[in-house]
Amino acid sequence: MQYVDRREKTLSDWPHVLITVVVCLLCWIACYFFSTGFPLTGNDAIMPFGGDLNKWLNNQTVIYAAGLLLMILTAFIIQRINDIEMLISERTRLVFLLYILFISTNLRIIPFNKGTIVLLCLVCMINELFKTFQSPEDKGKLFNAGVCIGVASLFVPQTLWFVLLLWLGMYQLFSLNYRSFFSSLIGVLSIFWFVLTWSVWKHDFSIFRDVYISLTDIKLFAVFHSMRYYHIGFIFIAVMMIPLMLNIKMDTINNRMRVRQMLSFLLNMSVMSCILIFLYGRNANVFISVLYLPLSVLLAYFFENMRKRFYFIFYYFILALCLSSFIVRLWNYSLNTVT
């Protein structure tokens, strides 16, 4: 029987890489031209680190350059995770391309906001967690994962709920015991120890009160107010979650337990992001962007089992859908700005 290397079964990379990169750059240029997201407001931030962004960054070019670089860095890390763990057996940059496409066509998170930092922290958390597969003694990486969640919570306190996801991931990757559990917990608490030190220095402990209020400020119907910004993209994501879930749960071809457990964790991250979208509708733009992290990997894995013809059709359908959604949002934004 002739051996077939599945890592060689891939699209001709350069055409769709070039088209996707050009589309993303055009989206960023259009946003720069219309000054979407500028100046930074930060008025809804709980922590002072998020509220002072508008004071630290007041140059439009610098803000757009920083947002673009952070997007590329986050996309590089999630692609690197895929390459190291071999979540997708094909040699493809599809994870990178899908992520930058989703981010670049979401008008609400361009160029830079608190969600940008949250994304970078969470992808670092995933990177540290995946390195601990069947290694409960590797407590340092789990401590780092807890620190990443703690830093993210400085900008969006609701991301503290991802600690539960971290513990679930530790259980799925066979790295959970009482020592690793407390290592991750200490990692989160170490960040708040610095916050406590800052509060003592300033004689102001209102931050902890605000964090508690933000965690309990559940507005189930607020998401429908924000839904008008995501009517195309969010419906597509909601519809795609069903086949992605079935694809992972019913996949009998992939017998690598490590990959199956990691993909299952990413699926759980998607579900938790959706739950947080509906619980905290006012931060829907942040958690929708968080949803892009696992979705880019899960979609790429879904493409892996497709025939080449459907691969092309479905990929460019997604590209056209995201681009049309971006154009509609930009058109509405320009009309609202003029009026």
pLDDT per residue as tens digits for the range 10-60:
444 667 788 888 999 998 998 888 877 766 665 445 455 545 555 556 777
Provide the mean pLDDT of the chain: 78
Q: What are phi and psi of 18, to 5 degrees?
A: -65, -45
pLDDT of res. 125: 93
Q: Quick check: is 77 in a domain?
A: yes
Q: Quick check: is 309 in a domain?
A: yes
pTM score, two decimals? 0.85
Q: Please tell me the distance from the alpha carbon of residue 301 to that of residue 310, in angstroms, as a whole number.
A: 14
Is the pLDDT at 167 greater than 80? The verdict is yes
Q: Quick check: is 7 in a domain?
A: no
Question: Which whole number is the average pLDDT over 179-183?
Answer: 89
Q: Quick check: is 294 in a domain?
A: yes
pLDDT of res. 39: 65
Name the residue among 270, 275, 255, 281 with its Cα closest to residue 102.
Answer: 270
pLDDT of res. 4: 41
Greatest mean pLDDT range, 30-39, 149-158, 225-234: 149-158
Question: Which whole number is the average pLDDT over 228-247?
Answer: 61
Q: Quick check: is 144 in a domain?
A: yes
Q: In the chain, how many domains are there? A: 1
Q: Quick check: is 37 in a domain?
A: yes
Q: State how far Cα 156 lies from the chain centre.
A: 13
Q: Is the separation of the CB atoms in 172 and 265 below 8 Å?
A: yes
Taking each helix axis from N to C terminus, what angle separates 233-249 and 308-338, rounded to the nearest 10 degrees? 150
Q: Quick check: is 195 in a domain?
A: yes
Name the residue among 97, 130, 100 with its Cα closest to residue 27.
Answer: 100
Domain residues for the domain of 86 are 13-332
Q: Quick check: is 339 in a domain?
A: no
